[in-house]
């Protein structure tokens, strides 16, 4: 069935026609909102609003029920009351529909009766070849085939797949990701996953040629063994970044009422993360930081980091952050120190690691990238962490040019100020917010990641090293 599920899901991401239930020509219902999402992104298949009370809905001819439509329907999207759903699924099976996104809530997340109703839906679906996504989910976002679950989402594709057990979070990741230069091949909000589940989508994205990195927000999985096996196998080809929530008592209880998940304890998950080579994050900010690093990474040979900073204080705290993350401050060669000593004045600076460039950078913008190049070419350096408070377009490009020469993992710890597009006086210029997504995307594609704290940057460099070690270990196991 494994081959089947991959081709089944692939069909669901490429529907030629979609029927949307729960819409109205007279008032704004949830279905209208979902219909608007498809219109906004420019879905170019056929859209069939289903509404017995209307001739048209949002300018489209409306149908009173599925069987009135005289053409095939590939996908249906349902946001009607729970008691009306079984009948719709029944009709969809007869019509030969391939997939049903059930937005409707009030199932397994509400207890035993809800779980019984989920089972009922699956039993009906099994009479045909209908697969269910949800219930209690948002469904699909796929820029390349113009699927969307929220009005205003972008049609620009990228290399990241995202699987989410939280619907609203998947919107947030899409909108905010784009502003941060992160673009997506496909997203799925799986909700309670009574039929197609987390593992099915993980398997699919493992084989999806549009996807280079897989990210997920996860509360729990129903089949832990299959998850571990799949994740370990896919990790050897594509990095998997996991935001796991629901560890603590309160968090686990919340996960139960959110998607009916059994969240499991931290020790078990620690072992799973390690064995499967998964990359762990704990909030959205970390998720974005790691994604930027894993889109097109250079993997480090070892744990020796060079820290480059102009403010001396952050040079110290960044050094702390590196050691706390398990990295080691590289010892520079004499040649490197000599070159650095020619780059900036002796006083108020340091040519040892961490490099403290002092105020010199306020007068000469080329010092930062030249310094990065010098330390990056030192064979005692495996990776570089740059603390730079504000970055402008010119600086980003000069760093990309350096990276193309040195080809080592590079992380920038910058600041949330970066994002406001407000310059600091005459001296420090920031990237124009309109250019930010494009510039960030170029940085990521060049193997340069961006972070909002030195701790996040250091942990990301360590994550690259751990992933490299996972790949090495796995290669040895395969060879022996």
- Nearest distance from residue 84's CB to a copy of itself, in Å? 13
State the DSSP H helix or E strand holding residue 179, giving kind and residue range, or none if neither: helix 167-179
Which tokens belong to 362?
């306020």
Helix/strand number for the chain, H first, E second? 16, 19
State the DSSP H helix or E strand holding residue 288, giving kind and residue range, or none if neither: helix 284-294
- Nearest distance from residue 349's CB to a copy of itself, in Å? 8
Which one of 235, 353, 446, 460 is in contact with a copy of itself (CB under 8 A)? Answer: 353
Q: Is 294 in the site for a copy of itself (CB under 8 A)?
A: no
268 burial type by CB count under 10 A (0-12 exposed, 13-18 middle, 19+ buried): exposed
Which one of 105, 145, 192, 235 is in contact with a copy of itself (CB under 8 A)? Answer: 105
Q: Is 472 in the site for a copy of itself (CB under 8 A)?
A: no
Sign of CA dihedral 340, 344, 345, 351: negative
Q: Is 420 in the site for a copy of itself (CB under 8 A)?
A: yes
Q: Is 112 in the site for a copy of itself (CB under 8 A)?
A: no
Which one of 53, 320, 364, 379 is in contact with a copy of itself (CB under 8 A)? Answer: 320
Which one of 162, 184, 269, 452 is in contact with a copy of itself (CB under 8 A)? Answer: 452
| Count of beta carbons in the 10 Å neighbourhood of residue 37 | 23
Which tokens belong to 462?
């360590």
Rg over CA atoms, the chain: 25
- Count of residues in the chain: 480
Which one of 59, 267, 334, 416 is in contact with a copy of itself (CB under 8 A)? Answer: 416
How many residues form the binding site for a copy of itself (CB under 8 A)? 96
Q: Is 411 in the site for a copy of itself (CB under 8 A)?
A: no
Which one of 3, 26, 112, 249 is in contact with a copy of itself (CB under 8 A)? Answer: 249
| Count of beta carbons in the 10 Å neighbourhood of residue 294 | 27
The dihedral region occupied by 277, where left means phi > 0, alpha psi between -120 and 50, and beta the remainder, is: left
What is the footprint of a copy of itself within residues 167-226 (CB under 8 A)? 167-169, 171-172, 175-176, 179-180, 217, 219
Q: Is 31 in the site for a copy of itself (CB under 8 A)?
A: no
Q: Which is nearer to a copy of itself, 128 or 251 (CB)?
A: 251
What is the footprint of a copy of itself within residues 42-81 (CB under 8 A)? none
State the DSSP H helix or E strand holding residue 189, giving kind and residue range, or none if neither: strand 184-189
286 burial type by CB count under 10 A (0-12 exposed, 13-18 middle, 19+ buried): buried
Which one of 192, 319, 336, 449 is in contact with a copy of itself (CB under 8 A)? Answer: 319
Between CA 262 and CA 265 the distance in angstroms is 9
Between CA 412 and CA 384 the distance in angstroms is 8
Q: Which is nearer to a copy of itself, 66 or 355 (CB)?
A: 355
Span near a copy of itself by CB under 8 A; candidates 51-59, 160-168, 192-200, 468-476: 160-168
Span near a copy of itself by CB under 8 A; candidates 45-53, 92-100, 122-130, 253-261: 253-261
From the list 320, 336, 324, the residue with the least C-alpha distance to 378 is 336
Q: Is 269 in the site for a copy of itself (CB under 8 A)?
A: no
- Nearest distance from residue 77's CB to a copy of itself, in Å? 14
Q: Is 122 in the site for a copy of itself (CB under 8 A)?
A: no
Q: Is 392 in the site for a copy of itself (CB under 8 A)?
A: no
């Amino acid at each position: 069935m494994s081959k089947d599920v991959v081709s089944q899901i692939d069909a669901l991401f490429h529907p030629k026609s979609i029927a949307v239930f729960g819409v109205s020509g007279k008032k704004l219902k949830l279905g209208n909102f979902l219909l608007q999402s498809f219109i906004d992104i420019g879905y170019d298949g056929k859209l069939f609003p289903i509404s017995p009370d209307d001739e048209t809905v949002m300018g489209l001819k409306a149908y009173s029920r599925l069987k009135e439509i005289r053409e095939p329907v590939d996908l249906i999207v349902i946001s009607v009351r729970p008691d009306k759903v079984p009948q719709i699924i029944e009709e969809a099976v007869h019509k030969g529909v391939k997939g049903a996104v059930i937005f409707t809530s009030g199932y397994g997340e509400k207890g035993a009766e809800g779980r019984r109703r989920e089972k009922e839906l699956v039993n009906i679906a099994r009479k045909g070849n209908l697969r269910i996504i949800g219930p209690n989910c948002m469904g699909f976002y796929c820029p390349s085939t113009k699927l969307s679950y929220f009005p205003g989402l972008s049609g620009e594709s990228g290399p990241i797949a995202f699987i989410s057990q939280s619907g609203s979070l998947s919107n947030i990741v899409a909108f905010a990701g784009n502003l941060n230069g992160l673009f997506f091949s496909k997203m799925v909000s799986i909700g309670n996953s009574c039929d197609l589940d987390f593992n099915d989508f993980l398997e699919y994205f493992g084989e999806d040629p549009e996807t280079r990195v897989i990210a997920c927000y996860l509360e729990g999985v129903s089949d832990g063994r299959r998850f571990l096996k799949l994740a370990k196998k896919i990790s050897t080809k594509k990095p998997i970044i996991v935001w796991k929530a629901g560890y603590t008592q309160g968090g686990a209880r919340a996960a139960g009422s959110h998607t009916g998940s059994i969240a499991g304890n931290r020790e078990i998950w620690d072992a799973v993360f390690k064995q499967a080579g998964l990359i762990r994050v704990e909030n959205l900010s970390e998720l974005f930081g790691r994604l930027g690093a894993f889109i097109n990474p250079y993997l480090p040979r070892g744990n020796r980091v060079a820290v480059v900073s102009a403010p001396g204080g952050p040079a110290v705290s960044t050094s702390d952050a590196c050691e706390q993350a398990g990295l080691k401050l590289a010892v520079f060669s004499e040649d490197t120190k000599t070159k650095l000593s020619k780059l900036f004045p002796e006083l108020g600076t340091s040519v040892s690691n961490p490099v403290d460039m002092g105020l010199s950078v306020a007068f000469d913008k080329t010092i930062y990238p030249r310094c990065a190049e010098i330390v990056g070419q030192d064979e005692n350096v495996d990776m570089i962490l740059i603390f730079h408070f504000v970055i402008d377009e010119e600086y980003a490009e000069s760093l990309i040019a350096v990276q193309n020469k040195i080809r080592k993992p590079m992380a920038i710890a910058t600041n949330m100020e970066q994002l406001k597009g407000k310059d600091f006086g005459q001296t420090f210029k920031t990237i124009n917010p309109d250019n930010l997504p494009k510039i960030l995307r170029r940085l990521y594609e060049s193997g340069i990641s961006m972070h909002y704290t030195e701790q996040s940057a250091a942990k990301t460099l360590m994550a690259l090293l751990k992933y490299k070690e996972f790949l090495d270990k796995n290669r040895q196991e395969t060879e022996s």
